Structures are given as C-alpha cells and as structure tokens.
Amino acid sequence: MKFAEIAILLREIVDRCPGLDGATITLIPQKAIYPHYQGYHINIKANFSRDTMGGLRKIVEGHDLMMQIKADAVVVYESRPT
C-alpha cells in the first residue's frame, strides 16, 4: 500500500475500531517480506476483542486487502505487487 492509501485506511480503522485505542501500529516496507513489492504492510499489535477483530476484518475486506493473524499482532497487506 502507498502512504495515501494507508492514511485513508488508518483513519477508517481509528474511527470504526475504538477497541484499538492504545495499540501499536507500525509500517513495514513490503519489500522486506516480498522483494518485488513496493509500499508498506501495516502491523497492529493490540489485545483484540472479538468485536474489534470483526470490525477490522470488515474494513480490510472492504478495501480488498488481506489480513494475517499472528500470535501477538495482525498484519494488513495487499495481495498483489504495487
């Protein structure tokens, strides 16, 4: 994702997922994981409630993005090279 897309997505996440207050959100260069990709992944570390996870999933799917759930974080990314 590009910076402009990330700004829009993060604004929507902040507005619609109040349960993420206090979360740590970092941007990871996509090429750090996938060499042919440009832009960024969003890494969110938080204590996710069922409601917050459901809301986040709806936002991510609405932007045609992917979500990888890890033990301590969620990574939001594009499934195609940019």
Q: How confident is the model at residue 32 (pLDDT cuts 50, 70, 90)?
A: low
Alpha helices in 1-81 (DSSP H): 3-16, 50-62
List the structure tokens of 37.
Answer: 């990709």
Question: Domain boundaries in the chain?
Answer: 3-77
pLDDT at residue number 53: 94
Find the helix packing angle between 50-62 and 3-16, rounded to 10°: 140
What's the rounded mean pLDDT across residues 23-33? 85
pLDDT at residue number 72: 84
User: Is this prediction's pTM over 0.95?
Assistant: no
Domain 3-77, CATH: 3.90.1070
